[in-house]
Amino acid sequence: MNQLDQLRQFTTVVADTGNFHQMAAFAPRDATTNPSLILKAVQQPDYAPLLAQTASSHRGAALDEIVDRTLVRFGLEILKVVPGRVSTEVDARLSFDAPATLARARRLIGLYEAEGVARERVLIKIAATWEGIQAARELEREGIRCNLTLLFAFAQAVACGEAGVRLISPFVGRIYDWYKKAAGPSWDESASAGINDPGVRSVSHIYRYYKQFGIATEVMGASFRNVGQIAALAGCDLLTISPELLAQLQASDAPLERVLDPQARDEAMAPIRHSEASFRYALNEDAMATEKLAEGIRAFAVDTDKLDALILAL
């Protein structure tokens, strides 16, 4: 078997792209999108008509509604390709506004349901800020499943587990990027690869914590820079992977073995609970997570601004 098929034996493979024509070749179960991926897609000739059609069909509607309808339009096309779920993201500019996040999440799920899509096939992506996590807690009570994204700190994972969210997306590659940049000339690539990669270590720790304490939230490693990071997380509940890296896995017949074991136990590990104050303090103490969370929100907000501008120009 190629590495992609080997990986499927113990991990659910998810496609991380808005390019629904491309993803079919890899037969993923689920797919994830974000503002940057959708912006990239709508600027391609194959997908630009979707944006134009959506904007034309809803001319006169509020700009944020047209954006949401565009995201859902892509999601509907993706759901024709994947048998499982699609993740659709709430506007990152609402990351610190729980009521507004709730409203947008409910609208997104309502747009899907109006097209005959059961809510079980949709994950609403929300940034893992304190406000985002509390919004997700309420949405989960309403049967709206959530994918908490831009997750870099263990405190974020703990709070998401407490809130009962369906799935989290800890970012492997962006954690790796931060530590590599911080180390500068002293960075040793070979010594920081595989299970020693800082992003891999972060996701592995979250996975072990969830399994040890019976937390049902699914762990989906995200944001990969190379196939070595993927191989080092084989056995994680899900991994969302770009088409470029899916192609590399598909082209390789090298052995790929399970690394993460759901039955593994760490006697030194203890359960943790977070109040708002302790969550904010723990996040503040983690310079990497603080910087990457803020950077991620800003980047998604910029790309949403660009998507707004494209719609206004039509």
Q: For residue 24, what pLDDT is reported?
A: 92
Q: What's the sign of the alpha-carbon dihedral 84, 304, 159, 264?
A: positive
Q: For residue 211, what pLDDT is reported?
A: 98
Q: Report the topology of domain 3-312.
A: TIM Barrel (3.20.20)
Element (H, E) at 16: strand 12-16
CB 89 within 8 A of CB 113: no
Identify the DSSP state of 234: T
CA angle, 202 then 207 then 211, to 5°: 150
- Which residues form the catalytic set? 125
**Residue 253's pLDDT band (cuts 50, 70, 90):** very high
pLDDT per residue over 159-184, tens digit each? Answer: 999 999 999 999 999 999 999 999 99
Q: For residue 105, what pLDDT is reported?
A: 98
Q: For residue 150, what pLDDT is reported?
A: 98
3-state DSSP assignment of residue 90 = coil
Q: What percentage of the chain carries pLDDT values higher than 70?
A: 100
pLDDT per residue over 42-67, tens digit each? Answer: 999 999 999 999 999 999 999 999 99
Beta strands in 103-257 (DSSP E): 122-127, 146-151, 167-170, 218-221, 238-241
Q: For residue 93, what pLDDT is reported?
A: 98
Q: For residue 101, what pLDDT is reported?
A: 98
Tokens representing 308? 């707004």
Q: For residue 169, what pLDDT is reported?
A: 98
pLDDT per residue over 110-158, tens digit each? Answer: 999 999 999 999 999 999 999 999 999 999 999 999 999 999 999 999 9
